[in-house]
C-alpha cells in the first residue's frame, strides 16, 4: 500500500467564523498495481467471483482504467454516481460492488436498501463530504429556516437527510431555476465553486457552504492559459467544481457525462480537460484519434498535493476488489431512518428529472 497524507482545508459558514480554517486529514491508502501476469489471473478470479456471488460491478469514471474495463466486460457499468446507483437499482444482481468513493456506496444503498453494497475500501472519501460534517450542517440549516436546502450528491447520507433536494451537477441549474421561479431562497452545500457558478447562471438568492474538491480546486489559470497558447485549436472542457478563473476559460462547462459527450461530439482534435484525469480513459476510448491533455495543476500556488487525480478514487484497485469479494467485508450500511429521509431529497430530483425529460445518463456529477 502506498500512503499519501491529504490535508483538506475548509472554512465554512457553519463553523461560525468564516475566516477560520479547519483542517481535516485523511490517509489515502492506494493499493499496489499488480504485475501484468498477476493482473490477468486477478481479473479472471474477480470475474468468477462476481458470477458466483450474483454481484455486479459499477465504477465511476474517475477510478483506474482496469476497474472501468472490468465493469463493462462483466455486464456492469461505468458512469457518474447517480447513474451508478440507478443501474444497481435496475440490475437484478443481489450484490452491488461500488468502485468509487463512500457517498456513492451510500447512495447506492439508500436507493437499494434490500441489496448488499460492497466497496473495495470504505475509507475512500471525498473532500466535499468530509468538509460538510452533518452536525455543523444541520446547525447551519437551522439558523436559516427560511431557505430551501439543496445539497450536491457529494455528501453523507445524514446531510442528504437534512436536505430538501439533492442535485447532481447537470441538473442543479434547472432545479435552482425552478426554485427561484417559486420565489425560494436557497441554502447550498457543499461545493462553493459549483454553488457560485449556479448562482451566477440563475441569479438566485443562494447562501453557500464553503467546501471544495481537492482535485478541481488545484487547476491553475496562468498555466492553463500557457497550455492554451501552446495548443491554440484545443477546446477546453471544465467541470464546474473548478474555480471561477478556470471556468472563465472554458469552451464547455459540464458534469462528467456532459464533458465526455462534448469530447465525442465536438469537431476539435485536441482537448484540455479540467477534471479528474480518470475521465480520460473513457474519452480516449470513445475518440481514439483525438488528443486529450490534462489541465495543469502545477504553477504559482501549487502545493505538494496538487495533482489531477483524486486520492480517494485511487484507493480502488483490483487487489482490494478481489479481497472484498473473497471475504465479503466492506459492506455499506446506512441507518434505515436516515436512509429513508435521504431518499426523499434524492427522489425529488429523480422526479424532477423525469418531468423535464432529463434521462439518468445525463444527470452527471463529480
Ligand atoms: S474528485 Fe473531488 S469531488 Fe470527486 S470524489 Fe474526489 S475529492 Fe470528491
- Residue 196: per-residue pLDDT: 97
In which residue are the cell numbers 449556479 written?
198
- Residue 87: per-residue pLDDT: 87
The H-assigned helical ranges of 2-80 are: 36-52, 65-73
Ligand 1 contact via 213 beta carbon (within 6 Å): yes
Ligand 1 contact via 104 beta carbon (within 6 Å): no
Ligand 1 contact via 95 beta carbon (within 6 Å): no
> What is the number of other CB atoms lying within 10 angstroms of the CB of residue 52?
9
For CA atoms 338, 343, 349, 352, the dihedral sign is negative
Looking at ligand 1, which residue's alpha carbon is closest to its atom 6? 310
Which grid cell sits at 345?
431529497
Cβ 177 vs Cβ 358: under 8 Å: no
Looking at ligand 1, which residue's alpha carbon is closest to its atom 4? 366
> Which residues lie below 8 Å from residue 98, measured CB to CB, with a gap of 6+?
58, 84, 88, 104, 105, 108, 117, 118, 119, 332
Nearest ligand 1 atom, CA 216? 2
Ligand 1 centre from 190 Cα, in Å? Answer: 12
The H-assigned helical ranges of 248-360 are: 256-265, 280-286, 318-327, 336-355
Looking at ligand 1, which residue's alpha carbon is closest to its atom 1? 310
185 beta partners: 147
User: CA angle, 28 as apex, 312 and 3 as ends, to 5°?
Assistant: 140
- Residue 307: per-residue pLDDT: 75
Ligand 1 contact via 247 beta carbon (within 6 Å): no
Ligand 1 contact via 307 beta carbon (within 6 Å): no
Note the CATH number of domain 38-124+310-332.
3.40.50.10800
User: Where in the sequence of the chain do the CATH 3.40.50.10800 domains occur?
Assistant: 38-124+310-332, 127-214+335-366, 216-294
Ligand 1 contact via 8 beta carbon (within 6 Å): no
Ligand 1 contact via 314 beta carbon (within 6 Å): no
pLDDT tens, residue order, the chain (366 aa): 444 444 444 444 433 333 223 333 445 678 888 998 899 999 999 999 999 999 999 999 999 999 999 999 999 999 987 788 778 878 999 999 999 999 999 999 999 999 999 999 999 999 999 999 999 999 999 999 999 999 999 999 999 999 999 998 878 999 999 999 999 999 999 999 999 999 999 999 999 999 999 999 999 999 999 999 999 999 999 999 999 999 999 999 999 999 999 999 999 999 999 999 999 999 999 999 999 999 998 766 666 555 789 999 999 999 999 999 999 999 999 999 999 999 999 999 988 988 887 655 444 444
Give the separation between CA 231 and CA 44, rounded to whole angstroms. 41
Residues 121-156 as b/e (b if ≥16 CB within 10 A, e otherwise) read beebbbbbbbbbbbebbbebbeeeeebbbbbbbbbb
Ligand 1 contact via 197 beta carbon (within 6 Å): no
Ligand 1 centre from 48 Cα, in Å? Answer: 31
Nearest ligand 1 atom, CA 214? 7
Looking at ligand 1, which residue's alpha carbon is closest to its atom 2? 213
Calculate the alpha carbon distances from 11 to 114, 128, 151, 212 in Å: 37, 12, 17, 10
Ligand 1 centre from 158 Cα, in Å? Answer: 18
What CATH class does 216-294 carry?
A: alpha beta
Give the separation between CA 290 and CA 310, rounded to whole angstroms. 24
Note the CATH number of domain 127-214+335-366.
3.40.50.10800
Looking at ligand 1, which residue's alpha carbon is closest to its atom 5? 126
Cβ 165 vs Cβ 345: under 8 Å: yes
Give the separation between CA 277 and CA 255, rounded to whole angstroms. 14
291 beta partners: 270
Calculate the alpha carbon distances from 92 to 18, 56, 60, 76, 298 in Å: 47, 9, 20, 11, 45
Cβ 157 vs Cβ 342: under 8 Å: yes
Cβ 231 vs Cβ 293: under 8 Å: yes
Ligand 1 contact via 127 beta carbon (within 6 Å): yes
Looking at ligand 1, which residue's alpha carbon is closest to its atom 8? 126
Ligand 1 contact via 61 beta carbon (within 6 Å): no
Ligand 1 centre from 26 Cα, in Å? Answer: 13
Ligand 1 centre from 201 Cα, in Å? Answer: 23
Ligand 1 centre from 127 Cα, in Å? Answer: 6
In which residue are the cell numbers 482545508 written?
9
pTM as predicted: 0.89
- How many residues are recorded in the chain? 366
| Ramachandran quadrant class, 88 (left: phi over 0; alpha: psi -120 to 50; beta: rest) | alpha
Ligand 1 contact via 218 beta carbon (within 6 Å): no
Ligand 1 centre from 51 Cα, in Å? Answer: 30
Ligand 1 contact via 279 beta carbon (within 6 Å): no
> Which residues lie below 8 Å from residue 347, measured CB to CB, with a gap of 6+?
none
Give the separation between CA 256 and CA 264, rounded to whole angstroms. 13
- Residue 10: per-residue pLDDT: 43
Amino acid at each position: 500500500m502506498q500512503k499519501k497524507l491529504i490535508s483538506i482545508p475548509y472554512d465554512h459558514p457553519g463553523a461560525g467564523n468564516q475566516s477560520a480554517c479547519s483542517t481535516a486529514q485523511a490517509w489515502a491508502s492506494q493499493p499496489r498495481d499488480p504485475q501484468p501476469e498477476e493482473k490477468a489471473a486477478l481479473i479472471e478470479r474477480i470475474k468468477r467471483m462476481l458470477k458466483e456471488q450474483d454481484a455486479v460491478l459499477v465504477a465511476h469514471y474517475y477510478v483506474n482504467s482496469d476497474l472501468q474495463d472490468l465493469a463493462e466486460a462483466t455486464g456492469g457499468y461505468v458512469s457518474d454516481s447517480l447513474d451508478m446507483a440507478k443501474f444497481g437499482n435496475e440490475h437484478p444482481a443481489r450484490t452491488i460492488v461500488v468502485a468509487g468513493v463512500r457517498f456513492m456506496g451510500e447512495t447506492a444503498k439508500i436507493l437499494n436498501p434490500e441489496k448488499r453494497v460492497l466497496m473495495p475500501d470504505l475509507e475512500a472519501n471525498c473532500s466535499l463530504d468530509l468538509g460538510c460534517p452533518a452536525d455543523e450542517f444541520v446547525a447551519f440549516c437551522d439558523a436559516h429556516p427560511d431557505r430551501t436546502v439543496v445539497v450536491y450528491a457529494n455528501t453523507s447520507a445524514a446531510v442528504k437527510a437534512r436536505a430538501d433536494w439533492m442535485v447532481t451537477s447537470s441538473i442543479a441549474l434547472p432545479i435552482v431555476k425552478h426554485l427561484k421561479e417559486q420565489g425560494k431562497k436557497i441554502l447550498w452545500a457543499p461545493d462553493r465553486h459549483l454553488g457560485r457558478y449556479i448562482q451566477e447562471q440563475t441569479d438566485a438568492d443562494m447562501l453557500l457552504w464553503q467546501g471544495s474538491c481537492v482535485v478541481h480546486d488545484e487547476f491553475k489559470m496562468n498555466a492553463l492559459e500557457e497550455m492554451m497558447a501552446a495548443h491554440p485549436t484545443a477546446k477546453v472542457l471544465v467541470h464546474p467544481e473548478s474555480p471561477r478563473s478556470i471556468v472563465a476559460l472554458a469552451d464547455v462547462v459540464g458534469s462528467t457525462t456532459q464533458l465526455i459527450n462534448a469530447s465525442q461530439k465536438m469537431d476539435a482534435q485536441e482537448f484540455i480537460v479540467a477534471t479528474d484525469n480518470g475521465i480520460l480513459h473513457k474519452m480516449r476510448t470513445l475518440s481514439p484519434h483525438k488528443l486529450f491533455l490534462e489541465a495543469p495543476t502545477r504553477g504559482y500556488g501549487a502545493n505538494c498535493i496538487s495533482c489531477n487525480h483524486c486520492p480517494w478514487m485511487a484507493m480502488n484497485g483490483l487487489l482490494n476488489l478481489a479481497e472484498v469479494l473473497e471475504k465479503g467485508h466492506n459492506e455499506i450500511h446506512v441507518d434505515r431512518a436516515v436512509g429513508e429521509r435521504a431518499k426523499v431529497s434524492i427522489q425529488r430530483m429523480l422526479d424532477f428529472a423525469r418531468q423535464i425529460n432529463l434521462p439518468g445518463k445525463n444527470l452527471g456529477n463529480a
